[in-house]
C-alpha cells in the first residue's frame, strides 16, 4: 500500500504566488518594495483620495521653509501624514505623468509618451481594481490625455473639461460631466472641481470610495482667483541669478503660454497655488467632518515640477531636479504611526498605483512597474530604492530632445538623443546641477557605473 499522499500538482495560482514572491524578493533585494500577494487583507478597506495638482514645484510648500509661500492646508496634511522629500515623476510632462499615476506604468508602456500621443483605452487604470472590490469611484478634473474622452472602465463618475485641448480655463470653464457638457457653477475652476469632489465624498454610501481629483492649478496661464490675487505683489523674490524677465518669451518659451515678464508670472503662479491650497483644505475639512479621516488615505502630488529661470529655463520636461521633483504627501492615520515625518526615500509617480493597491489589500498586478511605498509609510526606517529611470520623449514644438536618465541618491546621468551633450551631475556636491562632470576625471570614474545602471533600468522597464 502506498501511504504517501498523492503528489500535488502545482496549480496556476500557486505558480503565480511563487512568481510573485520571487519577484518581490528580487525587488526587495534591489531596494524596491512589493506586496505579498498572498497576504489576506485585514481590516477595513480605506477610502482613497488622490489630489493631483499641475506644475506644482516640490519646494513651494511653507512646511519646507519656502521664504514666502503660504500652504497651510498642505502643511496640515504633512503634519498629519508623511511628506516625501524625494518624490519624482518619471516623465516631467502633463499627459505622460498623469497616465503613469493612473496605470502604475512608465510612459513608454502606457503609450502616452508626450502631449500629442493619445490615450489608449486598453490601458488599465487602478480604478478597475477598486471597482471590482465594490468601491464607488470618480475621476474629477483635468484629464488632458490626447484623443477623445474615453469611456473609462471602473469609473462611476467622470467629470472633466476639453476646452483648450483639455487644459481647461481658470474662469468659466465648461465642464463635461458624465458625457454632458454644462457651464461651470462656480467662476473659478479650482473651486468648481472641489465642489464636485465634496459632493462625491459627501454622498451617502455603504461602500468605500476612490477619488482622483486632478486640478488645473497651477498650470499656465497661472491665474489666481480674486481672493489671492496680489497677495505676493510686494514680496521680494529670490529667483536664480541666471534669470531675466525675458526668458518667458525667448527661445520658443512663449509657446508655454508665458507672454509677459518672468516675475509677473511667478507671482501669479504662487498666488494660484495658495488658492489651490485653500481648496484642498475644504476636502480635508469634509473628511474630518464626516469622521472618516482614520479610514481615508489622502495623497497629494504634483504632476511634474517647474523651472522658474533655473538653467535659464521655464516650464518642465528636462531631467533637472526642478522639473522632476514633485510635492508628495500621504495621510492615512491607520497606517502611519508617526505623523509629521519627512521621508527621504525616493518614490516616483509610477509607485502610486501599487501603493493604493497595497493599502487597500488589492493584489498588485504583475505588469505594474512601480513599487508600493506602503512599507515606508508604516516604518520610516524602511530602505527605499537606490535608483530609478527617467524618460522624456520629443513633444513638438518644444526644443527638448528625447533623453533618458538614471537618478540615484547622489548622482544623475542623462543621455540625450541628437547633438545635446550628455550630462553627469554629483547632486550632493552640486545640487543645482551647474557642473557637468562629463569629460572630467571624476566623470570618467562615475560614468561606467551610472551608464550600466541606466542600461539595466531601461532593459528591466522594457525599453
Catalog residues that contact another protein under the rule CB under 8 A: 113-114, 116-118, 146, 164-165, 221, 241-246, 250-252, 254-255, 257, 259, 312, 393-402, 418-420
CB of 402 to another protein, least distance (A): 8
DSSP β-ladder status, 175-177 and 180-182: antiparallel
289 preceded by cis ω (within 30°)? no
Kindly report the number of other CB atoms within 10 A of residue 242's CB atom: 12
Provide, rounded to whole angstroms, the least separation between the CB of residue 393 and another protein: 6
In this complex, which beta carbon is closest to another protein, that of residue 120 or of residue 379? 120
Report the nearest approach of another protein to the CB of residue 87 (Å): 27
How many angstroms separate the CA atoms of 343 and 83, rounded?
Answer: 6
Report how far residue 113's alpha carbon sits from residue 446's, in angstroms, rounded to the nearest whole number.
Answer: 29
In the complex with another protein, which residue's Cβ is closer, 252 or 337?
252
Pair 308, 245: CB distance under 8 Å: no
Q: How far is the CB of 352 from another protein (least distance, A)?
A: 25
For 384, residues 6+ apart whose C-beta sits below 8 A from its C-beta are 31, 86, 343, 344, 345, 346, 347, 373, 376
CA distance 276 to 271: 9
CB of 267 to another protein, least distance (A): 18
Q: Rounded to an integer, what distance in angstroms lies between the CA atom of residue 281 and that of residue 275?
A: 10
Q: How far apart are CA 233 and CA 240, in angstroms?
A: 18
- Between 291 and 418, whose beta carbon lies closer to another protein? 418
> How many angstroms separate the CA atoms of 458 and 134, rounded?
36
Distance, CA of 152 to CA of 123 (rounded, Å): 9
**CA dihedral sign of residues 60, 63, 68, 71:** positive
Nearer Cβ to another protein, position 286 or 317? 317
Torsional class of 251: left (φ above 0), alpha (ψ -120 to 50), beta (otherwise) = left
CB closer to another protein, 285 vs 417: 417
Query: Cell numbers at residue 364, please?
Result: 498588485
Contact 264, 314 (CB under 8 A): no
Q: Which is nearer to another protein, 17 or 394 (CB)?
A: 394
Least distance (Å) from another protein to the CB of residue 249? 9
Closest distance to another protein from the beta carbon of 281 (Å): 31
CB nearer another protein, residue 64 or residue 116: 116
Nearest to 52 by CA among 124, 113, 102: 102
The DSSP bridge pattern shows strands 82-84 and 87-88 to be unpaired
Between 41 and 255, name the residue whose CB sits nearer to another protein. Answer: 255
Residue number with CB closer to another protein (125 or 248): 248
Nearer to another protein, 45 or 144 (CB): 144
- Reading the block at residue 329, the C-alpha cell is 504627501
Judged by beta carbon, residue 167 or residue 355, the one nearer another protein is: 167
Q: How far is the CB of 396 from another protein (least distance, A)?
A: 5
Respond yes or no on whether the N-terminal peptide bond of residue 248 is cis (omega within 30° of 0): no
Minimal distance in Å, beta carbon 350 to another protein?
A: 20
Q: For residue 191, give the C-alpha cell.
A: 473651486
Rounded to 10 degrees, the C-alpha dihedral 427/433/435/436 comes to: 90
CA distance 2 to 389: 56
Amino acid at each position: 500500500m502506498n501511504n504517501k499522499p498523492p503528489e500535488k500538482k502545482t496549480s496556476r495560482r500557486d505558480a503565480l504566488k511563487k512568481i510573485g514572491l520571487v519577484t518581490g524578493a528580487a525587488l526587495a533585494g534591489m531596494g524596491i518594495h512589493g506586496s505579498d500577494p498572498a497576504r489576506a487583507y485585514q481590516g477595513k478597506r480605506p477610502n482613497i483620495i488622490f489630489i493631483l495638482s499641475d506644475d506644482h514645484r516640490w519646494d513651494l510648500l511653507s512646511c519646507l521653509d519656502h521664504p514666502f509661500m503660504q500652504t497651510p492646508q498642505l502643511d496640515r496634511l504633512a503634519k498629519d501624514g508623511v511628506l516625501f522629500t524625494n518624490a519624482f515623476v518619471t516623465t516631467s510632462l502633463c499627459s505622460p505623468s498623469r497616465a503613469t499615476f493612473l496605470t502604475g506604468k512608465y510612459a513608454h508602456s502606457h503609450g502616452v509618451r508626450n502631449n500629442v500621443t493619445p490615450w489608449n483605452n486598453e490601458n488599465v487604470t487602478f480604478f478597475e481594481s477598486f471597482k471590482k472590490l465594490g468601491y464607488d469611484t470618480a475621476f474629477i478634473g483635468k484629464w488632458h490625455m490626447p484623443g477623445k474622452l474615453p469611456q473609462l472602465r471602473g469609473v462611476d463618475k467622470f467629470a472633466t473639461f476639453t476646452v483648450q485641448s483639455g487644459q481647461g480655463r481658470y474662469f468659466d470653464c465648461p465642464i463635461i460631466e458624465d458625457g454632458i457638457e454644462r457651464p461651470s457653477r462656480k467662476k473659478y475652476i479650482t473651486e468648481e472641481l472641489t465642489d464636485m469632489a465634496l459632493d462625491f465624498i459627501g454622498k451617502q454610501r455603504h461602500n468605500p470610495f476612490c477619488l482622483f481629483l486632478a486640478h488645473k492649478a497651477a498650470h499656465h496661464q497661472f491665474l489666481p482667483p480674486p481672493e489671492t490675487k496680489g497677495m505676493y505683489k510686494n514680496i521680494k523674490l529670490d529667483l536664480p541669478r541666471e534669470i531675466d524677465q525675458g526668458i518667458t518669451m525667448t527661445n520658443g518659451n512663449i509657446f508655454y503660454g508665458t507672454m509677459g515678464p518672468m516675475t509677473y508670472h511667478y507671482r501669479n503662479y504662487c498666488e494660484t497655488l495658495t488658492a489651490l491650497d485653500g481648496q484642498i483644505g475644504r476636502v480635508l475639512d469634509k473628511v474630518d467632518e464626516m469622521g472618516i479621516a482614520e479610514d481615508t488615505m489622502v495623497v497629494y502630488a504634483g504632476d511634474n515640477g517647474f523651472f522658474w529661470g533655473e538653467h535659464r529655463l521655464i516650464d518642465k520636461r528636462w531631467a533637472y531636479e526642478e522639473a522632476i521633483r514633485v510635492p508628495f504627501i500621504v495621510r492615512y492615520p491607520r497606517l502611519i504611526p508617526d505623523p509629521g515625518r519627512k521621508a527621504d526615500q525616493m518614490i516616483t509617480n509610477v509607485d502610486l498605483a501599487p501603493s493604493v493597491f497595497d493599502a487597500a489589500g488589492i493584489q498588485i498586478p504583475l505588469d505594474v512597474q512601480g513599487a508600493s511605498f506602503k512599507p515606508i509609510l508604516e516604518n520610516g526606517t524602511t530602505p527605499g530604492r537606490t535608483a530609478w529611470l527617467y524618460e522624456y520623449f520629443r513633444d513638438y514644438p518644444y526644443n527638448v530632445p528625447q533623453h533618458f536618465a538614471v537618478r540615484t541618491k547622489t548622482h544623475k546621468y542623462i543621455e540625450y538623443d541628437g547633438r545635446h551633450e550628455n550630462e553627469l551631475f554629483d547632486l550632493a556636491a552640486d545640487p543645482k546641477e551647474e557642473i557637468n562632470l562629463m569629460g572630467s576625471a571624476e566623470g570618467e570614474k562615475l560614468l561606467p557605473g551610472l551608464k550600466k545602471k541606466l542600461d539595466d533600468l531601461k532593459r528591466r522597464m522594457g525599453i
